[in-house]
Amino acid sequence: MAKKQTDVRISLQTLKVLEIFLENPTQQFAGAEVHQRSGIASGTLYPILLRLEAAGWFVSQWESIDPSVAGRPRRRLYRLTASGLRRASEVFGGFSRGVLA
Amino acid sequence: MSRQSPRFTKWDAISQWLIRRAARRVPECLATRLEEEWLADAESRASGASRLRLAVGCWWAIIVIVNDRPRFPAPQTAVAGGGWSAVTDRGFGYYSLRSGTLFLILGLHAVLFGGLFTPLSHTHGSVAPSISSGHVLRSVMGETR
């Protein structure tokens, strides 16, 4: 099993994504919702989501719906992990102290 | 946007085709997930133009994701295996995507300026008096005598 790399390059777009998840850390978001809230283009957004997931900051799972009943395909939902919440808080805390964590 | 939907247009067909083609550029374990995820996200977009923008963005996303693989392991949901090495071990890991884009832009500028200046220099060359014809040399020699 590959070793997880927990350090993620924190770009402005990554901060925007993290900010959305930090507003409600228990909530799950699909990529389309993150796009709507942040305005980040899909070409930038999905690599960020995958990087954060690979680094263990996010976990993702399929939406638990029946597509035939819901009338739409199931979406992939992302959620902050406990370590992701801690690391993201450290990053934003670093800004308030004037130093990037 | 499902094909059965009355709002399904040819642009939606193009968007779906682009997303499917983009997703196939990664190993199958991740390709299936990305294809389903992106098609579902495309479905939630309001307009066909927006869905097309997402599909085009997916191509850029795939380039970045494939380029990221040497630095980041595959997500837990995508089983890491020999598939990634087949895609990512391309022998140019030293160059980042950003550097590649920069070199591409510089190269295009060089071609563009080369294309512009080559006809100009040819025109200039035909208008200028030819030294080999000897007119200039003869006149200079005549003045000195």
| Domain shared by B51 and B103, yes or no | no
State how far the Cα of B66 lies from the Cα of B107, in Å rounded to an integer: 23
**pLDDT, tens only, A54-70:** 999 999 999 999 888 98
**pLDDT, tens only, A12-54:** 999 999 999 999 899 999 999 999 999 999 999 999 999 999 9
**Interchain proximity B61–A47, CB inside 8 Å:** yes
As its CATH architecture, domain A12-97 has Orthogonal Bundle (1.10)
**Contact assessment for residue A47 and residue A40, using Cβ atoms and an 8 Å cutoff:** no
Structural domain tally of chain B?
Answer: 2
Contacts of B34 in chain A (CB under 8 A): 46
Nearest to A2 among B56, B60, B73 (CB): B73
| Domain shared by B77 and B142, yes or no | no
Nearest to A30 among B34, B41, B75 (CB): B41
User: Quick one: angle between helices B10-23 and B48-68, nearest 10?
Assistant: 10
**In angstroms, what is the C-alpha Rg of chain A?**
14
With 0-12 / 13-18 / 19 or more C-beta atoms within 10 angstroms meaning exposed / middle / buried, residue A53 is: buried
Output the CA–CA distances (angstroms, integers) from residue B27 to A63, A69, B67, B102, B140, in the order listed.
23, 31, 13, 28, 76
| Domain shared by B40 and B86, yes or no | yes
Nearest CA-CA distance, residue A68 and chain B, Å: 12
The confidence score (pLDDT) of residue B135 equals 63
| Domain shared by B121 and B67, yes or no | no
Q: Which of B78, B61, B24 is nearest to A60 (CA)?
A: B78
| Domain shared by B18 and B40, yes or no | yes
Contacts of A31 in chain B (CB under 8 A): 37-38, 41
Q: Which of B44, B97, B46, B99 is nearest to B70 (CA)?
A: B97
Does pTM top 0.90 for this prediction?
Answer: no
* Residue B136 domain flag: yes
Mutate to test the interface with B, among A13, A50, A51 (most CBs of B within 10 A): A50
| Domain shared by B63 and B79, yes or no | yes
